[in-house]
């Protein structure tokens, strides 16, 4: 999605990545995923984990050059290619910032709530290492929806709620929120915002299909 090639990769290819990581990911794992559907140069994602104390860091490197915004031959350069780092803490996949902030979660959440940034608070508890507080997502999202907010902010709050229902496999609630967002999209005045939310919905539906 970040590289505007999400639609060029088949759902089957996306499913294969998730299945492979879910089944085989461990410290000795490393894998190159090559997408032959993308021409003229195949897109490659290289994934390798590293052990960090009792946790795991996952490095993802691609052959998409961020300087030229083009796919380049694999391993021809690593200086300017698109790369990301994730962490697995216990059973949670966490972005870098949340991994390093996990020990101060109470102060982080308090700051988000004081700033009335309810989506950030919901997002934080959804991806911290504490599975017991995930249900707080509903309260934070509902609190945010009470405010006079823009359609895009409402959409992102509901997307976080959709993600929560997807994680607990409550597909009925997921479908309810999907309908709300789909109806709101029709009222968007800014085309770019509309496109972003549609892309997010597509990713969510792909994940739902794979989980089911």
- Give the pLDDT confidence of 33-84 residue by residue, as tens digits: 999 888 889 999 999 998 887 778 999 999 999 999 999 999 888 789 999 8
What are the angstrom distances between the C-alpha of 85 and each of 29, 61, 68, 149, 161? 15, 9, 22, 32, 25
Q: Is residue 103 part of a domain?
A: no
Structural domain of residue 50, as residue ranges?
1-89
Average pLDDT, the chain: 88
Do the domain assignments include residue 1? yes
Domain total of the chain = 1
- Residues 33 and 64: beta-carbon distance below 8 Å: no
Q: Average pLDDT, stretch 139-145?
A: 94
Q: Count other Cβ atoms within 10 Å, centred on residue 77.
A: 12
Does 207 map to a domain? no
In a domain, 184, yes or no: no
- Tell me the pLDDT tens digit for each residue of 90-136: 767 777 766 776 666 677 788 888 999 999 899 888 877 677 788 89
Q: Do residues 83 and 57 lie in contact, with contact meaning Cβ atoms separated by under 8 Å? A: no
d(CA 103, CA 43): 37
Q: How far apart are CA 59 and CA 57, in angstroms?
A: 7
Q: Which two tokens stand for residue 199?
A: 């892309």
Mean pLDDT value across residues 150-163: 95
pLDDT at 6 over 90: no
What would the two tokens of residue 86 be?
């994730």
211 inside domain: no
Q: What is the pLDDT of residue 103?
A: 64
């Amino acid at each position: 999605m970040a590289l505007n090639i999400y639609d060029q990769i088949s759902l089957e290819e996306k499913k294969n990545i998730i299945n492979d990581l879910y089944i085989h990911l461990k410290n000795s794992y490393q894998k190159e995923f090559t997408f032959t559907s993308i021409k003229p140069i195949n897109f490659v994602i290289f994934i390798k984990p590293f052990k960090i104390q009792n946790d795991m860091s996952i490095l993802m490197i691609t052959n998409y050059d961020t300087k030229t915004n083009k796919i380049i031959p694999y391993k021809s350069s690593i200086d300017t290619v698109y790369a990301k780092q994730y962490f697995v803490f216990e059973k949670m996949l966490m972005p870098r910032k949340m991994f390093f902030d996990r020990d101060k979660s109470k102060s982080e959440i308090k700051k988000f709530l004081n700033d009335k940034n309810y989506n950030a608070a919901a997002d934080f508890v959804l991806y911290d290492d504490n599975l017991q507080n995930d249900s707080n997502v509903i309260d934070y999202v509902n609190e945010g929806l009470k405010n006079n907010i823009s359609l895009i902010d409402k959409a992102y709050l509901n997307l976080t709620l959709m993600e929560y229902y997807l994680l607990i496999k409550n597909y009925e609630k997921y479908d309810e929120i999907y309908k709300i967002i789909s109806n709101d999209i029709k009222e968007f005045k800014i085309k770019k915002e509309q496109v972003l939310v549609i892309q997010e919905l597509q990713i969510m539906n792909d994940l739902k299909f794979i989980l089911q």
